[in-house]
Amino acid sequence: MTCFFIGIHDAKGLAGIAIAQFLDLGDVTSFGERDSCFRRKVRDFAFRRFTSHILIIGNNMLTGQNTFRFADRIDIKEGLIAIDNAATQIKRDLHAKGMKTHLTIWKDFTEPETAAFAFGLFDDYYKFSTQPNMVFDICESWHAENDYVSALNKKYRDQYKRARKKNDGITMRKLSLQEITSNADKIYELYFTVARNAPFNTFWLSRNHFVALKEFLGDKFLFYGYFLDEELIGFDTLIKNGESMDTYFLGYNENIQRDKMLYLNMLYNMIAYSINKKFRKVIFARTALEIKSSVGAKPVYLFGYIKHCNRLLNFFMPKLFAFFEPQLQWHERHPFKDAAPQVSSDGVKS
Beta strands in the chain (DSSP E): 2-10, 13-24, 53-57, 68-70, 103-110, 126-128, 133-137, 170-174, 221-228, 231-241, 244-252, 281-285, 298-300, 302-308
Asked if residue 322 lies in contact with residue 128, where contact means CB atoms within 8 angstroms, the answer is no
Phi first, then psi, for residue 10 (nearest 5°) are -130, -165
Q: Is 95 left (phi over 0), alpha (psi -120 to 50) or beta?
A: alpha
Its pTM stands at 0.86
pLDDT for the residue numbered 138 = 97
Q: Please determine, for residue 182, whether its predicted confidence score (pLDDT) is greater than 80.
A: yes
Q: How confident is the model at residue 332 (pLDDT cuts 50, 70, 90)?
A: very high
Q: Please determine, for residue 200, whether its predicted confidence score (pLDDT) is greater than 80.
A: no
Peptide bond into 108 cis (omega under 30): yes
Environment class of 82 (CB within 10 Å of its CB; exposed 0-12, middle 13-18, buried 19+): buried
The kind and range of the H/E element at 158 are helix 154-166
**Residues paired with residue 308 on neighbouring β-strands, in sequence order:** 103
CA–CA distance, 232 with 252 (Å, rounded to integer): 9
pLDDT for the residue numbered 12 = 95
Q: Please determine, for residue 74, whether its predicted confidence score (pLDDT) is greater than 50.
A: yes
Q: Please determine, for residue 38, whether its predicted confidence score (pLDDT) is greater than 60.
A: no
Q: What is the mean pLDDT of residues 43-71?
A: 83
Of the candidate ranges 60-74, 92-106, 123-137, 322-336, the one whose mean pLDDT is the lowest: 322-336
Cα 272 → chain centroid = 20
Q: What is the mean pLDDT of residues 139-158?
A: 97
CA–CA distance, 179 with 224 (Å, rounded to integer): 11
Q: Please determine, for residue 133, whether its predicted confidence score (pLDDT) is greater than 60.
A: yes
CA–CA distance, 299 with 129 (Å, rounded to integer): 12
Q: How confident is the model at residue 258 (pLDDT cuts 50, 70, 90)?
A: very high
Q: Please determine, for residue 49, whether its predicted confidence score (pLDDT) is greater than 90.
A: no
Environment class of 140 (CB within 10 Å of its CB; exposed 0-12, middle 13-18, buried 19+): exposed
For residue range 151-177, what is the model confidence (pLDDT) as tens digits?
Answer: 999 999 999 999 999 999 999 999 999
244 C-beta neighbours (distance < 10 Å), count:
17
pLDDT for the residue numbered 28 = 63
Q: What is the mean pLDDT of residues 257-262?
A: 95
Q: What is the mean pLDDT of residues 96-105?
A: 94
pLDDT for the residue numbered 349 = 44
Asked if residue 80 lies in contact with residue 120, where contact means CB atoms within 8 angstroms, the answer is no
Give, as one character, the DSSP assignment of residue 3.
E
Q: Please determine, for residue 26, whether its predicted confidence score (pLDDT) is greater than 80.
A: no
Q: How many H-runs (helices) and E-runs (strands) does the chain carry?
A: 12, 14
Cα 236 → chain centroid = 14
The kind and range of the H/E element at 182 are helix 177-182
Phi first, then psi, for residue 84 (nearest 5°) are -65, -40
Three-state SS for 155? helix
Q: How confident is the model at residue 320 (pLDDT cuts 50, 70, 90)?
A: confident
Q: What is the mean pLDDT of the chain?
A: 90
